[in-house]
Amino acid sequence: MSQYVLRRLLIAIPSLLGISAVLFFVLALAPGDPFSELATNPNVPPEVQAALRAKFGLDDPIYLRYLHWLNAMLHGDWGFSFVSRMDVDKLILQRLPTTLYVIGSAQILALLIAIPVGVYAATKPYSLFDQVANTLAFVGFSLPTFFTGILFILIFSVTLDWLPFVYTTDIKGTGIHWGLEMIRQAIMPVAVLGLFQAASMTRFVRSAMLDVIRLDYVTTARAKGLGQAKVIVKHVMRNAMIPVVTLIALQMPAVFGGAIVTEQIFRIPGIGSLLISSILSNDTPVVMAVTFVFACLVVLFNLIADILYGWLDPRISFR
């Protein structure tokens, strides 16, 4: 087992290297530079812009810049943001808790909805419940988060004035009051993101369950006189979860991506909005670091999925 994990981690190294190289070269070839805003500022002579570019190594050849970056990364130095001149790791660490809180909550919400609804819908296919759940799921994943986000704001902030629509990391107060405020301001973004995730996941859970529920061994189990609940939970769900785990694991990085939009709408200072603003200002070191973190997440969650397979179905062994 540990040998397997180790081997998988070693295999990840070349993939991450490849990803980083592609990212870096694409970014370097993309137009624009971090000091573009200075171009229309009459106080800033062109020489200064040139000096800044030179100082930050933007005029070096791409491969040299990549090697510098890689070398620094290997030494644990993530570089510094051109735009805020702050160390990138600090910048990311400042935002990570918020992202984890909001996205983690959204993901848990999605699972809490999708698994029971999907499982129940599959046990009673084409029933009224199944049809309603299906319809809602279709509506849910057809509506993009930027739409539902604005809709929620208009309903719950503007019209009803129940919830704040600007997320702030700086809530006054302590203890229970602080906790309640944190929950209150997260309700809308978590709901928007969670419901969107839940919609597609419900469909997936349902179809995975349906695939398994028709297999002979399930009929056998039933014929043995096992109760419906036991059959579903012990026999069907466990097997149906394998593709679901794959989906969730592979979706995790995409969830971070999908959160970019949600983070913009609600002004959540998470990694997603950091990525967006860095891309807009051509802040290469930050974009590199954030995308690289995403790449690492992909690799990590794949590994977690693989390990979960073994637990769900012992026939899948680690070799």
The residue ranges that bind other proteins (CB under 8 A) are 31-46, 48-52, 55, 80-81, 83-86, 91, 94-95, 153, 157-158, 161, 164-166, 168-170, 172, 264-265, 267, 269, 273-274, 277, 280-282
Q: Minimum CB separation from other proteins for residue 98, in Å?
A: 9
Give the separation between CA 254 and CA 262, rounded to whole angstroms: 13
Give the separation between CA 137 and CA 133, rounded to whole angstroms: 6
Residue closer to other proteins by CB (options 35, 301) is 35
Q: Minimum CB separation from other proteins for residue 36, in Å?
A: 3
Q: Minimum CB separation from other proteins for residue 32, in Å?
A: 4
Q: Minimum CB separation from other proteins for residue 284, in Å?
A: 13
Q: Which two tokens stand for residue 163?
A: 């919830």
Q: Minimum CB separation from other proteins for residue 144, in Å?
A: 16
Residue closer to other proteins by CB (options 265, 298) is 265
Residue closer to other proteins by CB (options 158, 176) is 158
Give the separation between CA 226 and CA 101, rounded to whole angstroms: 41
Using CA atoms of 197, 199, 203, 205 in order, give the dihedral in degrees to the nearest 10: 50
Residue closer to other proteins by CB (options 246, 284) is 284
Residue closer to other proteins by CB (options 1, 29) is 29
Residue closer to other proteins by CB (options 236, 286) is 286
Q: Minimum CB separation from other proteins for residue 254, in Å?
A: 22
* Distances from the Cα of 145 to the Cα of 89, 141, 142, 159, 195, angstroms: 29, 9, 9, 20, 9
Is residue 119 within 8 Å of residue 205, measured between CB atoms?
Answer: yes
Give the separation between CA 86 and CA 271, rounded to whole angstroms: 15
Residue closer to other proteins by CB (options 123, 282) is 282
Kindly give the residue spans of alpha helices, DSSP state H, lying in the chain. Answer: 2-29, 46-55, 62-74, 88-123, 128-142, 145-152, 175-213, 216-223, 228-230, 238-266, 271-280, 284-312
Give the separation between CA 307 and CA 115, rounded to whole angstroms: 20
* Distances from the Cα of 43 to the Cα of 37, 51, 169, angstroms: 12, 15, 35
Q: Minimum CB separation from other proteins for residue 33, in Å?
A: 5
Is residue 44 within 8 Å of residue 38, measured between CB atoms?
Answer: yes
